[in-house]
Structure 1
């Protein structure tokens, strides 16, 4: 039984996550992949924010009471000037009628300039309301409705989705307001909604403003921070959250060693980048980084051994059958894999010289068999890791790190110091071993 429960993991991640996102010092796309709780391919943090904004109780409550409140929707009475012949529609504008008759119609007394009354729905507060509803409706239809988890059904049961879809598509008042996708909300519109007398509009303003600030990364705002804390970190797959928890704790440790977290640029593959006056440290989660962990089967060519021949035959036959059954290509390999954590230490910001590497396996388990498998995987990564050639053949410091959730071991690090074990509960304290940290940055 794992010792760190869901609540502890969330508490351990929450503060760092908000801080790192606020400062731009972690890769938002990499975080989104880690928090991909639905396995729907969500790899955009803004999309993830929209989903969880729509899952929040305030948004759900707003939609639940929407139908009755739309009966009191606000409109403005306007008059449109219209030129008619032989009939009068609405009130006559005599000054304009005289001007039309003697400038355009050569004294035609059957021409009238009329002020035709009409009801205007495209007023500021209605446009804010429609934009909010479009945002929620499109997110529910495209991203939420197909999610097959209890937490989705609690916030958006099928009946509620159908009810909202019916209101959005058929309500006569909403249909007279401009299409939400075409609305560009201005500051004046927001101010009109904020100062409106009806709670329908002030609530719409409050929710839309919170969404804008959430998307803009205003995590220092209490309501935005609370929304992010309550809804963003709720993965069903606890091992993924556990990995992020462990990596954030390692980042905190490295930051205490004088390494400074750097802002992440768009398109970067690193989860985080740290720098000192002399070194640059790239941290990757579930990525190879600048290394390769693939050894092609061709490495065995020319080696005489019955076992090797049989292994090559299996790999080649496997490729042929996969192609025959599925039409997919395969890449037969002697070894292929990817660690949970890759940490690369370079001299200078130019990353011209790789001086040290830490490879890590993170296991959300206190089971000794799981620990044994993870240790074997880690040793393979250390042995087969390549940076142009095998790391073990280069003058590069290689450290192995295995993090478990409470496996009891005789020692934290073997005598040679090649591999260090850390129990995740120790990451919360300051007493865990630091032999995993390369000597260059220790």
Structure 2
């Protein structure tokens, strides 16, 4: 029985062609969702490699989350934190039988539920859901990349490592108080893009790639991915042969001058 690699080489030598790859992908919504999500997760290009992000960049980002600072009045007995609000302190002391040890202060309260952190958590939750919903047949595909040694590894191995790091991050105490927005707005993106912490820019890039591939199922957006990464499932499974043919077309397209 021919493997995914064997079938790929067979079609490559035959010069297989598909007149309208976008039509093939969009004709079957289930295939479009699965294939675009799979290549999003398989992408090994610098700046779009999700495994590299969750393994290397994300732990650093979690230690440097953007915070907003606000000040609220807090009453303390015998201690001062932040700035003393003297008018409020005087009033409170008079109401408490002239208590000279009572202070109304405005300590800085740091809040991590910011737009850029909401974008980060949205991306992490979305990626975890994409892995969970990916058909098992595609999870078991051969993953061929131009940057790994050996060039072929089981896709499921990459997904397992990715899932481990995602779950570890989502259980981090600093993400617990951050909301997951229903929709990502331009406000979320602009706040993250303009952050002094450049790691938020990587999050914006990953979100943009998710929009192009996993939501819009843009076939042309797959070409750069296929220049370095190919997914070759068992040709006998549903979609298997179609996925391999599309991989051949994408591979040849990236080699055109």
Q: 2:125, 2:222 → 1: CA distance?
A: 21
After the TM superposition, list the runs of 4 or more consecutive aligned residues in structure 1 that deviate by more than 6 angstroms: 1-4, 228-233, 243-246
Task: Call closer, same or farther: CA 1:46–1:154 in 2, change over 3 Å.
Answer: closer
Aligned to 1:210: 209
Indicate the SS of the match to 1:113.
strand
Q: What TM-score, normalized to structure 2?
A: 0.63
Does residue 80 (structure 1) correspond to residue 71 (structure 2)? The answer is: yes
C-alpha displacement of 1:82: 3.1
Q: Note if contact 2:68-2:111 (Cα within 8 Å) is conserved in structure 1.
A: yes
Q: How does 1:114-133 map to 2 (within 5 A)?
A: 114-133=105-124
- SS, match of residue 154 in structure 2: helix
Partner of 1:7: 12
1:237 corresponds in structure 2 to 235
Query: Do the aligned partners of 1:9 and 1:242 also contact (CA within 8 Å) in 2?
Result: no
Distance 1:187 1:149, change over 3 A: same
Q: Which has the larger radius of gyration?
A: 1
What secondary structure sits across from 2:71 in the alignment?
strand
Match of 1:139 in 2: 130
Measured in 2, the distance between the counterparts of 1:87 and 1:128 equals: 41
Q: For the structure 1 residues 243 and 56, does the alpha-carbon distance in structure 2 shift closer, same or farther, using more than 3 Å as the test?
A: closer
1:296-315 maps to which residues of 2 (within 5 A)?
A: none
Q: State the 1:208 CA deviation.
A: 0.7
Aligned-pair CA distance for 1:131: 1.7
1:54-93 map, 5 Å: 54-57=41-44, 58-66=49-57, 68-70=59-61, 72-76=63-67, 78-84=69-75, 86-88=77-79, 90=81, 91-93=83-85
Equivalences for residues 22-421 of structure 1 within 5 A: 27-29=27-29, 32=30, 35=31, 45-57=32-44, 58-66=49-57, 68-70=59-61, 72-76=63-67, 78-84=69-75, 86-88=77-79, 90=81, 91-97=83-89, 101=92, 109-110=98-99, 112-143=103-134, 147-151=139-143, 153-154=154-155, 156-157=157-158, 160-161=161-162, 163-165=164-166, 167-173=168-174, 175-180=175-180, 182=181, 184-217=183-216, 219=218, 223-227=221-225, 234-237=232-235
Of 231-240 and 128-137, deviating more is 231-240
Report the Cα offset of residue 59 of structure 1.
1.6
With over 3 angstroms needed to count, the CA separation of the structure-2 counterparts of 1:83 and 1:64, relative to structure 1, is: closer
The alpha carbon displacement at 1:124 in A equals 2.6
Q: Could you tell me how far 1:70 is from its partner in structure 2?
A: 3.0
Post-superposition CA distance 1:309-354 (Å, at most 9, x none): xxxxxxxxxxxxxxxxxxxxxxxxxxxxxxxxxxxxxxxxxxxxxx
Q: Unaligned 5+ residue runs, structure 1?
A: 36-44, 247-442
- Which whole-Å CA distance do the structure 2 matches of 1:62 and 1:55 have between them? 12
| Matched residues, number | 222
- The answer to which structure has the higher helix fraction is 2
Question: Does the 8 A contact of 1:60 with 1:155 survive in 2?
Answer: no
The structure with the greater share of residues assigned to strand is 1
Q: What is the RMSD computed on CA atoms of the aligned residues? A: 4.4
CA distance in 2, matches of 1:231, 1:3: 13
- Structure 2 unmatched runs, 5+: 144-152, 246-257
